């Protein structure tokens, strides 16, 4: 009897956990293939640290073959071009793959909301190589400042577009590092300007107001200026133009206004909203018995507030467990389970030993929240590769 081909697209949080679980559940009863454009998996929830230069970019990534059993999983390093749903094929840059079951976990892309100039003039790639570029650029601005014949304040003006999790975590790390950079490059700290610009009426929309206030007060004490309820109209070579018509001159604009699903989704003809497919309760794409969608490409509505769940690592990992169980059930002719996210807690780091968070109904501030953030990161490593991976790759929570 022919073994079914299970093809997994993307080695993000969802793809990695799905692959790990499937290799245990179905083992040699199926041909499992994982496709990813790099031969490593990286933790997007850590990327704000190397972007600001407070952690080596290499600490955020791990070789796929060091985590997954490649005796049971065929790994293909390639880029996905298109999914041909009628033919049950995936077109790659260097070939094609046929599937019986497909798991789409292709991750996200920056959402520009139609603002011109983002891709040309802002740093918007939240990848290992993308954050390396941000770090190098920031350090170059400091190095260059004292070597110019005339003072250019925009060299040391840093704009973060978006006061969601990514923007706040990045500015937290940067504001923590600025004093050290000023000391290294012999620059008075008051020369550095840091702005967080947010179109919504509050920073960290949807987060507890008391925690938001704590975060803003802390970041303001480090010199961060917030411009809330203040949409950006355009990103230019010399900074940003606000909807009010005002311009802020800056050599550095970091774009963190949120994400959309992979453009491969729309290119492949799936019905989607901002690159995300509104999945069935069992995580399949509507009208497709054989296509599962997880992570940033999946849209699930939180019925209580009638809004989509945010595309977080926590939810992607939970989807992966359900997805693996459901593929096994399909192979065995069993019944499929519905997916309901279980939000265990949400924590945002603010740089240094500071963080804010909600775990259960408890609000956490400062070093307690920071401890919890590291525990959450380490829990993912434990789920993926057991205690060995935590010891090798984990963060010391103290």
How many CA within 13 A on the CB side of residue 385?
21
Please name every residue paired with 76 in a beta bridge, in sequence order, or none if there are none.
35
- Of 49, 111, 169, 176, the active-site residue reads 169
Tokens of 123: 């740093």
Q: How far apart are CA 360 and CA 374, in angstroms?
A: 17
Q: How far apart are CA 349 and CA 371, in angstroms?
A: 10
> 160 near 219, Cβ under 8 Å?
no
> 83 near 102, Cβ under 8 Å?
yes
Cα 282 versus chain centre, distance:
24
| Surface-to-core class of residue 21, CB atoms within 10 Å of its CB (0-12 exposed, 13-18 middle, 19+ buried) | buried
- Residue 200 contacts by C-beta under 8 Å, 6 or more apart in sequence? 163, 228, 229
- How many secondary structure helices (H) and strands (E) does the chain include? 9, 26
Residue 111 a catalytic site member: no
Please name every residue paired with 194 in a beta bridge, in sequence order, or none if there are none.
158, 224
> 45 near 18, Cβ under 8 Å?
no
Tokens of 194: 């840091």
> Catalytic residue numbers?
169
């Amino acid at each position: 009897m022919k073994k079914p081909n299970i093809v997994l697209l993307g080695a993000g949080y969802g793809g990695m956990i799905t692959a790990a679980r499937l290799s245990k559940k179905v083992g040699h009863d199926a041909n499992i293939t994982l496709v990813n454009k790099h031969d490593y998996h990286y933790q997007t929830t850590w990327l704000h640290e190397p972007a600001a230069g407070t952690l080596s970019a290499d600490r955020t990534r791990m070789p796929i073959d060091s985590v997954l059993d490649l005796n049971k999983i065929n790994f293909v390093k390639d880029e996905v071009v298109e999914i041909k749903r009628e033919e049950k094929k995936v077109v790659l840059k260097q070939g094609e793959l046929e599937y019986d079951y497909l798991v789409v976990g292709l991750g996200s892309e920056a959402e520009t909301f139609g603002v011109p100039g983002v891709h040309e003039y802002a740093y918007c790639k939240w990848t290992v190589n993308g954050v390396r570029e941000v770090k190098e650029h920031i350090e170059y601005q400091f190095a260059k400042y004292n070597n110019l014949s005339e003072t250019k304040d925009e060299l040391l003006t840093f704009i973060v577009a978006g006061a969601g999790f990514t923007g706040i975590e990045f500015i937290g790390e940067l504001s923590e590092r600025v004093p050290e950079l000023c000391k290294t490059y012999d620059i008075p700290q008051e020369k550095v300007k840091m702005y967080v610009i947010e179109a919504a009426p509050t920073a960290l929309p949807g987060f507890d107001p008391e925690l938001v206030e704590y975060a803003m007060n802390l970041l303001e004490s480090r010199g961060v200026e917030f411009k809330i309820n203040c949409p950006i109209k355009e990103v230019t070579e010399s900074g940003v133009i606000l909807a009010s018509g005002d311009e802020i001159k800056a050599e550095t604009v970091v774009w963190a206004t949120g994400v959309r699903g992979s453009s491969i989704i729309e290119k492949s003809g799936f019905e989607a909203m901002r690159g995300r497919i509104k999945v069935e309760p069992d995580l399949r794409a509507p009208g497709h018995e054989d296509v599962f969608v997880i992570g940033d490409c999946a849209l699930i509505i939180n019925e209580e507030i009638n809004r989509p769940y945010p595309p977080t690592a926590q939810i992607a990992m939970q989807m992966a467990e359900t997805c693996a169980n459901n593929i096994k059930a399909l192979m065995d002719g069993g019944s499929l389970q519905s997916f309901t996210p279980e939000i265990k807690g949400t924590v945002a780091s603010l740089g240094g030993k500071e963080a804010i968070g909600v775990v259960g109904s408890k609000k956490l501030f400062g070093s307690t929240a920071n401890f919890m953030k590291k525990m959450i990161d380490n829990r993912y490593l434990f789920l993926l590769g057991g205690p060995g991976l935590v010891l090798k790759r984990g963060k010391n929570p103290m």
